[in-house]
Amino acid sequence: MGTEIERKFLVKGEFRPYVVKAMRITQAYISSVAERTVRIRICDQKAYLTVKGKSNKAGMSRLEWEKEIDIEDAKDLLRICEEGVIDKTRYVVPESCGLKFEVDEFYGENEGLLVAEIELPSEDFPFDKPIWLGDEVTGDFRYFNSNLKNNPYKYW
């Protein structure tokens, strides 16, 4: 099992000219408790089962296990998930040191929310922040997808 190290930011400017890839994502949760989340994700024509452990105090690191699964199995599993589905488009934007930002544009009850994430090899890894990045929200658990399904952005 690996460790996901990720920082999150709001998006304040125009990032679309830098996008190299876009994909539509639908995801739901079998479990969304703080100690562990179990997620089903359909991303274009692929599907994944992901288990994530509890985040550290800073909200930056947590254990993560992910496996690709059959898309028909994923569609079946969506029927037994908790209420609330996350619907978004993910845009991939390269970062200068070889990493990438993933910008999520949310729909439905989270319409209007744009969050950029970057996965890092270590918590203190330096990276360039593009001009379109806004405030950092890494430690703000409201921005976790598992929380957005229960407390959508439009109600804040």
pLDDT digits (tens, 9 = 90+) for 80-89: 999 999 999 9
Q: What is the pLDDT of residue 6?
A: 96
Q: Which two tokens stand for residue 72?
A: 């028909």
Q: What is the mean pLDDT of residues 99-117?
A: 97
Query: What one-letter code names the amino acid at 141?
Result: F
Taking all residues of the chain, what is their mean pLDDT, rounded to a whole number?
95
Q: What is the pLDDT of residue 26?
A: 97
Q: If you write DSSP's letter for every residue of the chain in order, what string do you get? A: -EEEEEEEEEE-S--GGG--EEEEEEEEEEEEETTEEEEEEEETTEEEEEEEE---TTS-EEEEEEEEE-HHHHHHHHTTSPS--EEEEEEEEE-TTS-EEEEEEE-GGGTT-EEEEEE-SSTT------TTEEEE-TT-GGGSHHHHTTS-GGG-
Options 29, 48, 107, 153, the catalytic residue: 29
Report in angstroms the alpha-carbon separations of 140 from 7, 76, 84: 11, 32, 20
pLDDT category, 96, cuts 50, 70, 90? confident
Pick from 57, 59, 81: nearest CA to 8: 59
Calculated CA dihedral for residues 63, 26, 152, 123, nearest 10 degrees: 30
Q: What is the pLDDT of residue 52?
A: 94
Whether the predicted pLDDT of 132 surpasses 90: yes
Q: What is the pLDDT of residue 61?
A: 93
Count of the separate structural domains present in the chain: 1
Indicate the pTM of the whole model. Answer: 0.93
Whether the predicted pLDDT of 1 surpasses 90: no
Whether the predicted pLDDT of 142 surpasses 90: yes
Q: What is the CATH number of the domain that holds 46?
A: 2.40.320.10
Domain range for 33 is: 2-155
Catalytic annotation present for 29: yes
